[in-house]
Amino acid sequence: MSISVYHTSDAWWAGTPDAVAKVDTSASTTAQLLADRAAIGQAATSAETVAVTGLDLLAPVTAPCRVVAQMTNFASHVEDTGGNPKTVPLTFFRKASGSVSGPADDIVKPDHVRLLDYEVEIGLVIGREMPVGTTITADNLADYVCGLVVTNDVSARDVQLTKTQFYEAKSYPGFTPVGPALVLVDADELGRFGELRLQLRVNGELRQNSTVKNDMIYRPVQALGALARFQRLSPGDLVLTGTPVGTALSAPPKAVQKLVSLLPDDVKWKLFFAGQAKNPKYLQDGDVVEASVATDDGKIDLGTQHNRVTYA
């Protein structure tokens, strides 16, 4: 049975999505906590619980850590941005661990960013050393992925597109809200990964809504297997697995794309950003973003994060 782990400024907590007990541990990082599984288990079965709603939660994944993300990994999102899901490669990028923030922290838009976007994603939390050369299979996946979290891959699209790289555009402080819970799962529960539904709302309006089994292109076994060829991962590291259709950014019609491709870059970007500036889906000051991940039967529930957008 899954265990929901929460983090506050002075303690770790474990139990259900609703009620938790304090973990008797000296751990200050996620990696240290994961090495103290006995203490987590004791807290999860304790009768001395408090309501999760009364806790001031931090991210259950602590920085510094590696934050690795999969790019264009949902068929619906690939199609919406003008790509072909059948030919899109398995691709990764890195985010700064300084972008990790809590499930109720503000998303602060830097002054120079015009097009602030959202991407609800499932985060895989690594629970065991995964050296380069590790073989990842369906049978041993649960040995390396100990838990799942809700994440939001916040993106400065005008920075991302003009510089043709992701690191800066997705690494500003607060651009990776994580939590509320780190949900520890066993092999059977991890086997239900395909049933997880990702949803994101802005000011109550449903923007993203998709399940893994109907949409995700490269599953965790494939992703971690590819990462292990060149990237070491350690306990407490975080791997984001992509987002479905529904982000503010969307590709123009094919005919428009062909026409625009003939223009000089400066003219092309000027026209593109002029059009995107009229798109009301980009995040604005005061917007509230709610991202959640759960199975439809609620047996696996990673919770919902609530983040308000503010301007620097």
What does the longest C-alpha to C-alpha distance in the chain come to?
A: 67
pLDDT of residue 254: 52
Average pLDDT, the chain: 94
Lowest mean pLDDT among 81-85, 115-119, 283-287, 294-298: 81-85
Q: How confident is the model at residue 105 (pLDDT cuts 50, 70, 90)?
A: very high
Residue with tokens 């690191």: 167
Distance CA 202, CA 279 (A): 14
Query: 146 or 264, which is more confident?
Result: 146
3-state secondary structure of 40: helix
Q: State yes or no: pLDDT of 152 exceeds 90.
A: yes
Asked if 97 and 237 touch (Cβ cutoff 8 Å), the reply is no
Write phi, then psi, for 295 (nearest 5 degrees): -75, 155
Angle at 19 between CA 190 and CA 36, to 5 degrees: 60
The crossing angle, in degrees rounded to 10, of helices 254-261 and 265-276 is 140
Q: With 0-12 CB in 10 A as exposed, 13-18 as middle and 19+ as buried, what is 188?
A: exposed
Give 195-242 pLDDT, tens digit per residue: 999 999 999 999 999 999 999 999 999 999 999 999 999 999 999 999
H or E segment at 100? strand 100-101
Domains observed in the chain: 1-56 (no CATH), 61-311 (3.90.850.10)
Residue with tokens 């089994």: 213
The number of angstroms, rounded, from the C-alpha of 176 to the middle of its chain's C-alpha atoms is: 7
pLDDT of residue 159: 93
Name beta bridge partners: 308: 288
Output the pTM of the full model: 0.95
Q: Give the end-to-end CA distance of the chain in Å, rounded to a whole number.
A: 42
Interval 138-147 mean pLDDT: 98
Distance CA 171, CA 149 (A): 18
Distance CA 71, CA 65 (A): 19
Distance CA 208, CA 198 (A): 7
H or E segment at 147? strand 145-152
Give 229-285 pLDDT, tens digit per residue: 999 999 999 999 999 999 998 765 554 455 555 566 667 667 777 878 889 999 999
